[in-house]
């Protein structure tokens, strides 16, 4: 069904005519089976895990086959699923993104850049990346304030329409490998993707609709001296930058892909600086 360098998904058929989904993944995605089980126990609609094993650093799990979706997910579906997700009790097993860990993200990204340069990578024309990260690091403590303001708890982290399966029997959330406990606004900030130019007004409307649908009213509260939409979009891009740089350094570690990663990081940093106003 789909395969990339760190994970893959396939449909398997059994002699009795039933089917299931087989998903395999390497680090850092080898805990998704445990996360899916915890999500199900928390009342979050997810596919059931039939069985799983981690061997030689690779997760293999068989999960419920939800069939083909009846339609693509729309904003109203994303809002309903976000309200349900953020209303679930936080899971103690998940990593935590709070004021302190959010504040540390620009410095972590700077360290990734230093280590990449020490390997003679990311050495050409990346001074602007270093400058943006230094500016964000200098303002990070102030701008990170309010990270634990509600909604806070389960964050899907890859919350896009493609991660929401709409079937004949309702919706299920997929792809929980990078879930964490943190600001729920990150999910709303990621819903419309990260390829197009960021649109704070569009996110503001989504947050307002989320609150109207039962989401926590504090979703509309300011954070770090900024409007919630600017705060969420800006910090989500910083979070994505740190992740892309860690991928380039550790998980993908392929110098032939550096140019693509540099371009994405540069674009996200430009957006983050515009929105977070360091």
pLDDT value at position 132? Answer: 98
pLDDT digits (tens), the chain, 278 positions: 566 667 899 999 999 999 999 999 998 999 999 999 999 999 999 999 999 999 999 999 999 999 999 999 999 999 999 999 999 999 999 999 999 999 999 999 999 999 999 999 999 899 999 999 999 999 999 999 999 999 999 999 999 999 999 999 899 999 999 999 999 999 999 999 988 899 999 999 999 999 999 999 999 999 999 999 999 999 999 999 999 999 999 888 899 999 999 999 999 999 999 999 99
95 shares its domain with 9:
no
pLDDT value at position 253? Answer: 87
242 shares its domain with 109:
yes
103 shares its domain with 140:
yes
Integer CA distances (angstroms), 112 to 185, 233, 236, 237, 259, in order:
26, 22, 18, 16, 15
Please give the residue range of the domain that contains residue 39. 1-65
Question: What gap in Å lies between CA 151 and CA 214, rounded to an integer?
Answer: 11
pLDDT value at position 124? Answer: 86
Task: Provide the domain count of the chain.
Answer: 2
29 shares its domain with 151:
no
Q: Give the CATH number, domain containing residue 165.
A: 3.90.1200.10
pLDDT value at position 92? Answer: 94
């Amino acid at each position: 069904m789909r395969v990339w360098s760190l994970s893959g998904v396939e449909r398997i058929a059994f002699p009795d005519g039933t089917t299931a989904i087989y998903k395999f993944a390497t680090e850092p995605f080898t805990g998704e089976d445990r996360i899916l089980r915890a999500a199900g126990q928390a009342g979050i609609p997810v596919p059931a895990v039939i069985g799983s094993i981690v061997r030689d650093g690779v997760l293999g799990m068989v999960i419920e086959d939800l069939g083909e979706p009846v339609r693509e997910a729309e904003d109203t579906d994303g809002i309903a699923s976000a309200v349900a997700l953020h209303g679930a009790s936080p899971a103690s097993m998940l990593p935590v993104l709070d004021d302190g860990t959010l504040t540390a993200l620009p410095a972590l990204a700077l360290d990734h850049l230093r280590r990449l340069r020490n390997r003679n990578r990311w050495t050409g024309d990346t001074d602007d990346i270093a400058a943006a990260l230094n500016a964000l690091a200098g303002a990070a403590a102030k701008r990170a304030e309010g990270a634990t303001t509600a909604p806070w708890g389960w964050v899907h982290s890859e919350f896009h329409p493609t991660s929401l399966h709409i079937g004949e029997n309702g919706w299920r959330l997929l792809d929980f490998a990078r879930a964490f406990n943190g600001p729920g606004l990150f999910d709303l900030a990621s819903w419309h993707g990260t390829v197009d130019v960021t649109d704070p007004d569009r996110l503001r409307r989504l947050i307002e609709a989320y609150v109207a649908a039962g989401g926590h009213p504090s979703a509309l509260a300011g954070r770090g001296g900024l409007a919630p939409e600017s705060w969420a979009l800006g910090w989500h891009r910083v979070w994505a930058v740190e992740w892309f740089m860690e991928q380039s350094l550790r998980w993908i570690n392929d110098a032939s892909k550096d140019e693509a990663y540099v371009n994405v990081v540069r674009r996200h940093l430009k957006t983050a600086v515009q929105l977070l106003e360091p």
